[in-house]
Amino acid sequence: MRLVIGSDHAGWSLKGAIVDHIRKLGHEVVDVGSHDDQPVDFPDVARAVAAKIVAGEVERGIMVCGTGVGASIAANKMKGIRAAVCHDVHSAHQSVEHDDVNVMCIGAQIVGPWLATDLITAYLQARFAVEDEDFRRRVEKLHAMDAEA
């Protein structure tokens, strides 16, 4: 799978461990920044992550900021993006399986590298449960809401 990852300065230190883990799992990673610990605005990075997904250059994205919340809010402002904060393994896989999430947001001030790797593994192994009519119907409603915005 080809992924995009982005972080603000608060998530930068965790991002390296995440990128290493993704590559060890055999996936390709496009890193849109930040590339150091200098202050950067998370909405700018979320826009860059979302743009790669919407353009079809990557399948999914990951955002890392202090709590994951700001990154999730910013990413969800972009048409075609369904972002979720995931700080537990269940949410990491179920957000994809039930809601077809395409951006997982992680808070570097909330989780450490060990848990982050478990979250990433669960997120990347998950697939949207297209066979479930309820999930398909709900995601279609999300698409319709997105089109109305």
Neighbours of 65 (CB within 10 A): 30
Tokens of 72: 């999730």
Sign of CA dihedral 105, 110, 111, 113: positive
- The rounded distance, in Å, linking the Cα atoms of 2 and 57 is 8
Q: Is 27 a catalytic residue?
A: no
Active-site residue, from 65, 86, 93, 105: 65
- Using an 8 Å Cβ cutoff, are 128 and 100 in contact? yes
Q: Is 86 a catalytic residue?
A: no
What order do you get walking across the sheet with 2-7 strand by strand?
28-31, 2-7, 60-65, 103-107, 83-85
103: DSSP letter: E
Active-site residue, from 21, 86, 87, 98: 98
- The rounded distance, in Å, linking the Cα atoms of 68 and 13 is 14
Instruction: Enumerate the active-site residues.
Output: 65, 98
